[in-house]
Structure formats: structure tokens, C-alpha cells
Structure 1
């Protein structure tokens, strides 16, 4: 097996439920749930047995309607939420042998700071909005153990110029920036430690179409230049078509279809995917 056949990230049977569950909804019969909700105890099964691999330099798209579980999945991957059960492995962490979800909170912090970057739909979650832009990047570098101020300033400047933030604005706070500029600062911050994995959660939602296009072009060029692996969540098939090599389709917490993006867009199999694709035409 070559290194390119070894997944950078491997997720097996990830489950996340909100609520205790009960005898009624633990019943394997499909009729026990209304979509992914138990009407008896009120438990929501946000992710149900989600499994996938991401390979070096690959962009994996995850698409689904609102409430399909895709953002909850991203929160679990970045430890913003605890998983209910499941396994996750990163090839560059403990030789890919340690289940990420069972590690201590200290180790999870290490993984977040060194091996992953995340860009949130809402920049308020990913940035300290009153810090300077370069200060936001320094914060991520400090969390990963950097102490050299000169190095952090140089790295921050390099990244901000890569994401097209003007030099004279790098010491300005993101609260003064437009939505598109805030997302570009988030991308720079997420890439500051050169993580092998970048998580993008609905990064263009709420942006003007021209701004969306420039953010997507930026992501595409950085991904090619750095050969980074990306997990990209979107409800917009146009975004998925532009960026993703392979795509998972989620519905009611489950993966209902997966394959090469072209294949899914040209020959969707599941009725939900067919309606999604036809809505794009």
C-alpha cells in the first residue's frame, strides 16, 4: 500500500445523539423514529453510523439539507461536541492507531492545535473579533507552542498576504471587516500551523455571490498549493461541484449516498440526491 492509499483521516461509525434514548427509539425497526427524532423521549439522533475516509490532498464534500447532521458531524470532528460513540483516526497521530474520540481533553487540544484547522460558518466562532487579524493568527501559533514573536509576525504577515488582506490592515480587528474578509482571516488562522486537515463548515453561506466566488477560488488555490486535505460541508451543490473530489450525501443523520462528485451529480441514485441535483439544474 502506498502512502497515497492511507487515509489522512478515517471515521468509523460515528454517532451523536441529543437526549438519553429509550426502549422505543433503540428499537432497530425504522418506524421507531420520525425522521431522526424519537417522539417518545425527544431524543434527536443527529449522526447515525457515519463512516468515511479522507485521503492526502483530497477534498471531501458533505452535502445535505438543513438538519441532516452535517454541521454536528463537523463539531464532533473538531471536538466542539463530544461524540456519543464511534472511532476516528489521523494517520500522522500515534501512527493512526489511537481513537481520537477517546483521547484526553489535553490530547484533543493538541490535535486541534497541530493537526486540524477549522473555518466556521459564523466568523464569531472562529475569530477573536476584537483582536487584530495578525493577533488571531498568533493566538493559534501560541496555542501550538510558538513563543518567537518575530516568527509569529512573519508567519501572520505571510498568511494574511496569501488570503489577500492588505498589509496596512493586518493590525486591524476583524470586527471592522466585511464578511468575506472575516472568512479570509479565519482561513489564514486555520492554516497557520500547516495542519494536514482543514474543516470548512458552510464557509460561503451569507456572502454575496461575487464574494463567495473569490473565497472559493482562494480555498481552491491554497488547497492545491499546500496539498492539504479538506472536509467541506455545504448545502450548496454549486460549492460542492467546484471544490469536492468525492461527496457524501447526508439525510436525517445518515450517509445515504457517496461517490465521486461528478458521478453523484450526473447519476444520483438516492431519491433525495436526485431531487437535490434537479433543484440545481
Structure 2
């Protein structure tokens, strides 16, 4: 658990992602004209509305919510897969000091993705080239981050595949030949190949068998323990968040409706929706 006197490694303030023009009914503070996250006057959908969060060094922040709550859109905005409508993103890094990273150039965003971020998507097809070998997928990320020494990249790739329990005799195989759980582990190895301080994991256990889910969760916990990487873990499953996250945000209709220590939220949820989530685990 982080010490709260530390500065956040990553800080987001008032992130909004809307689809539509907005109007006087839905653009006011608090957006009183919305029905859930939809404006009936102008048809605008607020996928994320005024979301703020901090991620501290070495912690895992969980984000939980039902399908359509905005959690995956939030992740895509943080990783620059989507542009935000408004908001600020800062990272406590000398290279990026004082910059709102949502406003920097596409070239600068690409640099941040290649050097500061790792991403593991729910669908491995989005994070892997299925017709490249596993070790070539890892090398692709290393090359994007400036790697040029073939021997060093090969050695690092083998080490990472070993970390995620992919047999080295299969490193030349294409991920399309692997099971879903193995594909996720290759994705994790690829995401770690640039030694990122921040790792995003979006619904990484969804669709996996329970035993495979447990193996992936154990791997994430081991990586966080051994490497001290800060992580944001998104899931609709509070049981996954309970096993992984130090702190948790609960999202509903594009907003953060509750936040706090994971144990605190599990033991004494305040919002009716969070109570429903917690009681569904019992």
C-alpha cells in the first residue's frame, strides 16, 4: 500500500468524453439535464463525465462498474486510443513535468505509450499481432521504445516469456495458436517489455475459465510485488478487484459514484449501486 503523503504518479482531473455536441441542458455543472448519461434534448452521450483519479507509486487502482459505465472508455482515453473532450492528465516524471498529456502532439503521445505505458486489452487481438511469433510481438514493443540490439531484445524477450510462464520452446509460435489465457500472458509480457512505470489492464480475465482467471490474477500480483509497477485494473467483476486493488473507484453512467480503500468499499459501501455489487458477492 502506498503512503498517501507521496505525490501521485498519475493524476487525472475532470476527464470528460462525450459523443455529440452538448447543449445548455447538459453542459451545466453537474449536468442536470441528463437521463443516466444521455441528454434527451441534443442526443449527446457522456461516456465519461468529470472523472478525476490519482494513482500512487506502486499501487493497484481498481475501477469497477457494469457494462456501459464508462470504465473502458476511461482506459482508452488514458492510453490515447481515444481523444478526450476535456480534462487534464499529468504524470510525475521529469520528462513530462507541467504538461497536460491530453493536449500534447500525437508524436508525444506515441512516445508516452512506448516508454511510460503498458497496456493489456480485454481482447488479445487488439494488443498482439496474431501472425507474428510471441517473441517478435515483444520485440516490436522494444523496437518502438528504441531497442536496436537484437541479442539484448532476444534475451529480454525470453526472460519476460519465462516470467509469464510461456514455455520457451513455444516462443517462435504465433499467438493465434495459443489458448486465451496464454494469449493474455503474452500480452502482459509485451506490455512489460519497455519497463513501464504504469500498466493498464482492461478486463483481462473476462471470458477465461476460472482456473485460468486465477493464474492470470496470481501473475498480475506477482508482477506488481516484484517490479513495483503502478497499475490501473478495470473490471465489471468486484471479486477480481477485491483480489488485486489497493483502492477502488466505482463507476456508473460515466461518473465515479464511490471511491476509497478496497476493503472499506467491500465492508461498508455507501452508494446503493455499490451495495448491490457487494451483496452479489455474498
TM-score by length of 2: 0.96
CA distance in 1, matches of 2:209, 2:97: 40
Q: Take 1:244 and 1:96, find their aligned partners in 2: how far apart are those partners?
A: 27
Query: What's the secondary structure of 1:102's corresponding residue?
Result: coil
Cα 1:112–1:4 change in 2 (3 A) is farther
Runs ≥4 in structure 1, deviation > 4 angstroms? 27-31
TM-superposition CA deviations, 1:18-67 (whole Å, max 9, x none): 11112332245755111001123221101111111111110000001111
State the distance in 2 between where 1:181 and 1:241 align: 23
What residue number does 2:81 align with?
80
Provide the C-alpha distance between the structure 2 equivalents of 1:109 and 1:29, rounded to a whole number of angstroms: 33
Give the 3-state SS of the residue equivalent to 2:206 in structure 1. coil
Inter-partner Cα distance in structure 2 for 1:35 and 1:3: 33
Cα distance in 1 between the residues matched to 2:187 and 2:134: 9
Q: Note if 1:208 corresponds to 2:226.
A: no
Distance in 2 (alpha carbons) for counterparts of 1:228 and 1:28? 35
Q: Aligned runs of 1:133-212 on 2, under 5 Å?
A: 133-212=134-213
How far apart, CA to CA, are the structure 2 residues paired with 1:179 and 1:93? Answer: 38
Q: Deviations over 1:192-214 (max 9, x none)?
A: 01100000000000000000000
Contact 2:248 2:262 in 1 (8 A): yes
Preserved CA contact (<8 Å) 1:4 1:56:
no
SS at structure 1 position matched to 2:42? coil
In the alignment, the residues of structure 1 paired with residue 164 and residue 31 of structure 2 have an alpha-carbon distance, to the nearest angstrom, of 47
The match for 2:270 is 269
- Cα displacement (A) at 1:3: 10
Q: Using the alignment, how far apart are the partners of 2:231 and 2:130 within structure 1?
A: 25
Count residues in correspondence.
Answer: 280
Partner of 1:92: 93
Partner residue of 2:45? 44
Q: How far apart, CA to CA, are the structure 2 residues paired with 1:138 and 1:164?
A: 18
Q: Distance in 2 between matches of 1:29 and 1:141?
A: 43
- Match runs of 1:213-232 below 5 Å: 213-232=214-233
- Please identify, of 119-128 and 89-98, the stretch whose mean Cα deviation from structure 2 is larger: 89-98
Which runs of 5 or more residues in structure 2 are unaligned?
A: none
Q: CA deviation at 1:261?
A: 0.2
Judge conservation of contact 1:48–1:254 (CA < 8 Å) in 2.
yes
Give unmatched runs, 5+ long, in structure 1: none
- Aligned residue for 1:212, secondary structure, equals helix
Point out the structure with the larger helix share. 1
Q: Aligned equivalents of 2:5 and 2:93: distance in 1?
A: 13
